[in-house]
Structure 1
């Protein structure tokens, strides 16, 4: 079970969260990664935690002011990237282009979708994983795995029908070890979460609880 912590643009200390995630991963044997703002990638990667970018743009080297170059992300220490998060939606062609960019830079990829149909469409593009995250549950107190388990089950089936080499992750409201265990039972092999860790007074304690269900 993969736990991917997206720090978004929350006012947390990315190095402190990354250090806690590294320590909990080492002591538990769980796979935990942290996805900070692009400017914080080198500092987070420097802790030794598995580090992911929040986005890469569908561009290569050239005249692309304001873009996030996949090669620059990799040079900063990232080993993977999120794409098409509900807070940073892309056109389908741009998702495909960003996947190509990530492939050039040897980055692992997770493409987000809102529902089983979007998960299936994302799986057809061949990412490493698809994450289903209903927007209405993002940042809330109810985990998708308990509030609407059919979305996870149906997405797992939809992704497998398109490409059974693509993993299914789920997110939105995930914050406890029980949520992680429930997600696994529904067919997910990873979870995405953000506020549950980034806004926590004690991120280390939250992370320990999260992996207790693995």
Structure 2
């Protein structure tokens, strides 16, 4: 099971969370990673935690002021990137270009989508994984696996029908180990979460709770 913690722009200590991710990752069979803000990627990667970017742009080297180049992210220590998070939506052509840019830089990719139909379209672009995240549940503490389990099962089927090599993650409202188990029972191979760890008083304890049932 893959557990990817997105720190967004929450006022947390990215190093503290990264150290918790590193330590918990070493004590569990789950794969645990963290996605800090772009300016913190190098520092976070230096902790030894598996580090992801929250976003890269569909660009190559050149005149692209204000954009994030995939190669720069990789050079800073990231091994993967989120794409098309509900808080950073892209057009389909830009998702395609971003997947290609990430692959060029040897970054793993997780493309986020709102529903099973979008999951199928995203899977057709050849990412490593897709994440189904109904935006109305993000940050609510109510997991999609509980609020609408059919969405997760349908997303898994939609991805498999397009490309069986694309993994499906479950996002939105994940905060406990029971949520992670429920996502796995519905066919998801991982979870994408944020506030459950980033806002926790004790990130290590929050992560241990997430992976303990696995």
Measured against the shorter chain, the TM-score band is over 0.9
Residue 52 (structure 1) aligns with: 52
Residue 64 (structure 2) aligns with: 64
CA shift, 1:24, in A, is 0.6
CA shift, 1:28, in A, is 1.6
Q: Distance in 1 between matches of 2:63 and 2:69?
A: 11
Q: 3-state DSSP class of the match of 2:15?
A: helix
CA shift, 1:213, in A, is 2.3
CA shift, 1:212, in A, is 1.2
Per-residue CA deviations over 1:18-73 (Å, capped at 9, x if unaligned) read 00110011012321000000000001000001000000100000000011000000
Q: Distance in 2 between matches of 1:159 and 1:99?
A: 16
Q: Distance in 1 between matches of 2:160 and 2:59?
A: 29
Q: 3-state DSSP class of the match of 2:52?
A: strand
Q: 3-state DSSP class of the match of 1:131?
A: strand
CA shift, 1:154, in A, is 0.4
What TM-score, normalized by structure 2, do the two folds share?
A: 0.99
What stretches of structure 2 of length at least 5 have no aligned partner? none
Residue 6 (structure 2) aligns with: 6
Number of equivalenced pairs: 214
What stretches of structure 1 of length at least 5 have no aligned partner? none
What TM-score, normalized by structure 1, do the two folds share?
A: 0.99
Q: Distance in 2 between matches of 1:60 and 1:186?
A: 38
Q: Distance in 1 between matches of 2:56 and 2:13?
A: 22
Range moving further from structure 2, 10-19 or 22-31:
22-31
Q: Distance in 2 between matches of 1:209 and 1:7?
A: 18
Q: Distance in 2 between matches of 1:49 and 1:145?
A: 27
Q: Distance in 2 between matches of 1:4 and 1:202?
A: 17
1:58-207 matches, cutoff 5 A: 58-207=58-207
CA shift, 1:201, in A, is 0.5
Residue 19 (structure 1) aligns with: 19
Q: Distance in 2 between matches of 1:72 and 1:29?
A: 30
Structure 1 position 32 matched with structure 2 position 69? no
Q: Distance in 1 between matches of 2:53 and 2:16?
A: 17
CA shift, 1:141, in A, is 1.6
User: What is the root-mean-square deviation of aligned Cα atoms in Å?
Assistant: 0.5
Q: Distance in 2 between matches of 1:189 and 1:153?
A: 12
Q: Distance in 2 between matches of 1:203 and 1:64?
A: 36
Range moving further from structure 2, 57-66 or 22-31:
22-31
CA shift, 1:83, in A, is 0.1
Q: 3-state DSSP class of the match of 2:27?
A: helix
